[in-house]
Structure 1
């Protein structure tokens, strides 16, 4: 079959990877010269630990397997199964970790609680004032600024893949996409993946889309002079992710109200060390549009203080800041929104902040649904 993929981000690249691996011919069309939206403005986390029970956890575990397969084909994505430590700064936060680590699915998630000494053995960079941590061995990371281009380069060697950059698709029909340069891309299957571009063609094709946009901001430091052997989260992440809901979390929220800056910006701490040693740190969440056009310093100051508490040392100088916007289904139980515009033309968007983690599994499901 000939497959047309419209979108060059993580979801589009994973759809292309699956289709080529299954023997199909693929043309991938991207409006920019390279992906510039949510797919490169994220942590690169393959995040199993916080996922909701049921379909979300199942998809995350499958995606974790698939990321390892992608890394076998494309080692340049920088995949590493480094796991994570969600550091507890108080006994109330540690109680949340203990509660989830005692649940029946703890082994499946790779959960175990460690005290401060064991946390520092796992990750010696954690020399700060922590009382323990939740260790998740199933979490991993890739390099978000390298992954899409590395996958494209690998697919190009197949002889069955073409990447068309700088062409915006302005119309869709049954088995074709029309570019703004007049080119028509015909296929036995067309998959349209607009990301957070929910206006224009997307609104025209799907006016009742059950998806919203979310704004977040992050920053990156200069290289740290030591290795973080795991990714890092904190007690705000317990408040954010659905996997941690329970009695202990309710007590935490009652006894230890979230910091006003973190509360106002719907924040959590996530920190990943890039292959060059720099640290990617975030993040915030804004749900009401219009979104700001600037980056607020208060969340950066809060996150910096939080990281320095955990590491027990000053952060390296911040070298860049950015914001991102991603598309998220209104119903959090829905992993992604799929819609068929025509018999051979289909629409996929809305994984939210789970996009980088789940993209291989979402793409695999698309291929199975449409008999690729």
Structure 2
């Protein structure tokens, strides 16, 4: 069969390219090794997180993705909640960072405000009032439930745009205009996108190695359903999170936060722990997370990491139940110095990878930009009925 676009990889980056091309009337096929998406796209908080993106191009991409998530949720029939986010400060240096961020241009494009402990209590029932000095509330963040969203997007693309999904179909070789499956079958296309995330060793590993991509493993948990009627409200982030996202790097007081944590809790730095919470559609709380890179990654999870995360979460949050019903880990590929990378590894074959933990936040708009540039560079022939 021949398509306008073949996408290898059924996660959010691959689906973003498939959706953008299908909306322009192109014929599209998506190939995935498994019976459904099983990688980082379904193993995350479900946070669309503009507040974590540095101002400028990356922030603009995140805000465009925010709009696209709302559009996609409406047409594909899955919930996209405008929940916002709330960074809690339980130390003076954390509050200083939030104040500096709010006063600078770093928050441009976001709908943010500093909030008092009293205002925080009205936003969420979860904030631990002990030692709470204030917070930063942003209305810009969204919430989706990852497995629900990814499966709904795939179904919508198949039903509304006739995107052909080839699950359980590992692609073992890619040339210009041609992909070959592990069963020896071939498919052809005008253009091909490789979006395999953490599983980049299987296709064009040399291109990924040249970008010095590194794997990151994160551990996460899900609590039992909270009582009916109890709602987390916005995504919750602690002061630990300030040292993780680049949007806060220009705040002078961040050095004090980092030094205090390094002195008092070096184990948090060792495992890259910063704690956040989001509410899943079953009422439970998604909790995390940790970051182990490269040679530090082991196939088994560490109970110590889960214990540390719960301890830190309980310092900033009070919730009806902390009973953990699920534990898992995810893997993603992170570029060491850029938002992501795009490389043409064969004529009309692009590798798109390296979003790190920002795939849900950036992928839809970034994929749209790739498809738009491709479309403008040479008008694709729409091959309706040519399969």
TM norm. shorter chain > 0.5: yes
Displacement of 1:99: 0.9
Separation (CA, whole Å) in 1 of partners of 2:319 and 2:149: 31
Separation (CA, whole Å) in 2 of partners of 1:205 and 1:115: 49
Separation (CA, whole Å) in 2 of partners of 1:8 and 1:107: 33
1:101 aligns with 2:102: yes
Displacement of 1:207: 5.2
**SS of the residue 2:51 aligns to:** coil
Separation (CA, whole Å) in 2 of partners of 1:91 and 1:290: 33
Displacement of 1:314: 5.7
Residue 123 and residue 206 in structure 1: after superposition, are their counterparts in 2 closer, same or farther (change >3 A)? closer
Tell me, yes or no, if the aligned pair for 1:215 and 1:286 is still in contact at 8 Å.
Answer: yes
Residue 183 and residue 263 in structure 1: after superposition, are their counterparts in 2 closer, same or farther (change >3 A)? same
Q: Give the alignment partner of residue 260 of structure 1, picking from 254, 257, 266.
A: 266
Tell me, yes or no, if the aligned pair for 1:261 and 1:298 is still in contact at 8 Å.
Answer: no
**SS of the residue 2:115 aligns to:** strand
Count residues with an aligned counterpart: 369
Q: What is aligned with 1:229?
A: 233
Residues 126-159 of structure 1, C-alpha deviation per residue, up to 9 Å, x if partnerless? Answer: 2432221111110111111112210111112235
Residue 239 and residue 315 in structure 1: after superposition, are their counterparts in 2 closer, same or farther (change >3 A)? farther
Q: Indicate the larger mover: 103-112 or 337-346.
A: 103-112
Q: Indicate the larger mover: 216-225 or 244-253.
A: 244-253
**SS of the residue 1:201 aligns to:** coil
Q: Indicate the larger mover: 85-94 or 244-253.
A: 244-253
**SS of the residue 1:81 aligns to:** coil
Q: What is aligned with 1:249?
A: 254
Separation (CA, whole Å) in 1 of partners of 2:188 and 2:264: 52
**SS of the residue 1:215 aligns to:** strand
Displacement of 1:260: 2.5
RMSD (CA atoms): 1.8
Tell me, yes or no, if the aligned pair for 2:214 and 2:294 is still in contact at 8 Å.
Answer: no
1:272 aligns with 2:273: no
Separation (CA, whole Å) in 2 of partners of 1:223 and 1:190: 42
Q: Indicate the larger mover: 247-256 or 220-229.
A: 247-256
Q: What is aligned with 2:350?
A: 346
Residue 7 and residue 313 in structure 1: after superposition, are their counterparts in 2 closer, same or farther (change >3 A)? closer
Tell me, yes or no, if the aligned pair for 2:219 and 2:330 is still in contact at 8 Å.
Answer: yes
Gaps of 5+ in 2: 381-387
Separation (CA, whole Å) in 2 of partners of 1:306 and 1:17: 39
TM normalised by structure 2 equals 0.91
1:11 aligns with 2:17: no
Separation (CA, whole Å) in 2 of partners of 1:200 and 1:294: 22
Tell me, yes or no, if the aligned pair for 1:176 and 1:345 is still in contact at 8 Å.
Answer: no
Separation (CA, whole Å) in 1 of partners of 2:332 and 2:256: 31
Alignment of 1:208-223 (within 5 A): 208-223=210-225
Q: What is aligned with 2:318?
A: 312
Residue 93 and residue 290 in structure 1: after superposition, are their counterparts in 2 closer, same or farther (change >3 A)? closer
Q: Indicate the larger mover: 127-136 or 221-230.
A: 127-136
Q: Indicate the larger mover: 123-132 or 24-33.
A: 123-132
Tell me, yes or no, if the aligned pair for 2:215 and 2:333 is still in contact at 8 Å.
Answer: yes
Q: Give the alignment partner of residue 140 of structure 1, picking from 130, 139, 142.
A: 142
Displacement of 1:347: 1.1
Q: What is aligned with 2:287?
A: 281
1:301 aligns with 2:307: yes
Residues 319-353 of structure 1, C-alpha deviation per residue, up to 9 Å, x if partnerless? Answer: 1111111011121xx22211112222211111111
Tell me, yes or no, if the aligned pair for 2:85 and 2:141 is still in contact at 8 Å.
Answer: yes
Displacement of 1:360: 0.3
Residue 99 and residue 206 in structure 1: after superposition, are their counterparts in 2 closer, same or farther (change >3 A)? closer
Alignment of 1:127-206 (within 5 A): 127-129=128-130, 130-158=132-160, 160-203=162-205
TM normalised by structure 1 equals 0.94
Tell me, yes or no, if the aligned pair for 2:276 and 2:289 is still in contact at 8 Å.
Answer: yes
Residue 105 and residue 92 in structure 1: after superposition, are their counterparts in 2 closer, same or farther (change >3 A)? closer
Residues 1-26 of structure 1, C-alpha deviation per residue, up to 9 Å, x if partnerless? Answer: 72111100111111111111111111
- Structure 1 runs of 4+ with >6 Å offset: none
Q: Indicate the larger mover: 55-64 or 195-204.
A: 195-204
**SS of the residue 2:331 aligns to:** strand
Gaps of 5+ in 1: none
Tell me, yes or no, if the aligned pair for 1:4 and 1:191 is still in contact at 8 Å.
Answer: yes
Separation (CA, whole Å) in 1 of partners of 2:264 and 2:321: 23
